[in-house]
Structure formats: structure tokens, C-alpha cells
Amino acid sequence: MDYLLELVTNPTAWAALVTLIVMEIVLGIDNLIFISILSNKLPPAQRVRTQRTGLLLALLMRLALLGTVAWIVQLTETAFTVFGHGFSWRDLILLAGGLFLVWKATGEIRHHVTREDDAPAKASSTVQLSVAAAIGQIIVLDIVFSVDSIITAVGMTEHMPIMFAAVIVSIMVMLFAAQPLARFIDRNPTIVMLALSFLLVIGMTLIAEGFGSHVPKAYIYAAMAFSAFVESMNMLSRRAKTKQVDGDAH
């Protein structure tokens, strides 16, 4: 009890909590984009439930991993060496997650590029996705992002209550943001391609991290923010042209 009271009255602990919450939300954006794209491939009645299920699974996974912090920290230790390069279990998890993201994003980009020329029957068979398949894919990415998230949390603070609070708050924020993001992506088809490009970049970044090449996250998110800004300008331009055409027609 004295320990918790000391944390509550410690300004440094509050600063660590706020910083960690922001970091967890930023790291969770990748997961949220992936969940939004997958849920939009489901029938409308099942989308919200799948989004919530995916994020709640992420929460449970991260809380469970926080309970095994000592084991998580050991994942960064070298497990074996190949051609003089040491690989840890964390590296293998990031490699697997990166390859999965690249495969998934590439497949989705190919589908969106070629579906205009496909027969309607073929398109309808590829658009639909079962809830079980969607949740299965979400779980795979949850594992990758959860491990990375917990390792980041351990590196930023040694206080377990702060880690638990940051994870819970960040997932709650993403729960509120999931539906607006999914609706926005669904209403703007060009955003889907941009989001898939983000996932492709994130997948390549995870692969690079798995091979020991650290890529500063600030560069990745700055590029993503700039791309989103340019696309928003394009959207505003298209809407202005549409209004002008409608005005001329009347």
C-alpha cells in the first residue's frame, strides 16, 4: 500500500505513465490499422464485435505477458548464431510478424489493384472473410506487437503498476478509436491503399529489426504522417471538384 501511495505522489512516476501511454498508443496504431482493414472485409453486422474482440485479445495478451516480465526480458538474449550473427527469440518473433505483414499487405494490395478487372463472382468470393479467420490473423499480429510493446515498457520504467495502467489505458483509447478509423477507411477507398502501404513499410521494418538493424520509429511515423497529410489534401481537392461539378450541373 505504501508503495502504491509513493507512486501516486511521485511526479516522476506520473511523467513515466503519460510517456508510456503515448508510446503504447503510437505502437498500437499499426495493430489498429490492421484490425480496421480486416474488420472491413467482414459483413457490417460482425465488424464492431471483431474489432472489440481483437483489441480485447491484445489487452489480455499484454497483461498476461506483463506477468511474465522476467521471461520476456530473456527473449532479447541471443538464442543461437547464424553466420556470425546472433538471433534472439524476440528477433524471430519480429521476423515472423514482419513476413506475415508483408505477405498480408502485398496480397491485399494485389486484390485491390486487380479486382476491377476480375469477374464479379471472383471478387465476391475474395472480399468476404470469416470471423474466425479474421480473429486468427489478429491474434498473430497481437502476439508480435504485444511482445514489442512489453519490451518497450520494460525499457522505460521498472514499476509494474505503471506498465499495467499504461497498457490498459492505451487499449481503451484504441477501443474508442477503432470504429471511427474503420468507418473512415471504409468510406475512403484510397485510404485503404495508403493504410496497406503503411503495413508493408511496418512489415519491412519488423524484418529489419529482426536482423538487428534498428530503424528509428520517428522516421517511420513522420513518413506516415506526411503521406496521410498529402492524401488528406487530395481528398479535399476531389471533394471540391465534385461540388463544383454538381454546382455546374444544377
Place 121 in a pLDDT band, splitting at 50, 70 and 90. Answer: very low
Q: Is pLDDT at 156 greater than 70 in this prediction?
A: no
pLDDT tens digit sequence for 8-42: 666 777 777 777 777 777 767 777 877 887 887 78
pLDDT given at position 123: 38
pLDDT tens-digit profile of 90-115?
Answer: 788 878 878 887 887 788 777 767 75
Q: Which is more confidently placed, 11 or 134?
A: 134
SS (H, E, C) the chain: CHHHHHHHCCHHHHHHHHHHHHHHHHHHHHHHHHHHHHHCCCCHHHHHHHHHHHHHHHHHHHHHHHCCHHHHHHCCCEEEEECCEEEEHHHHHHHHHHHHHHHHHHHHHHHHHHCCCCCHHHHHHHHCCCHHHHHHHHHHHHHHHHHHHHHHHHHHCCCHHHHHHHHHHHHHHHHHHHHHHHHHHHHCHHHHHHHHHHHHHHHHHHHHHHCCCCCCHHHHHHHHHHHHHHHHHHHHHHHHHHHHHHHHHC
Please give the residue that has the higher pLDDT: either 133 or 15: 133
The answer, yes or no, to whether residue 186 has pLDDT greater than 80, is no
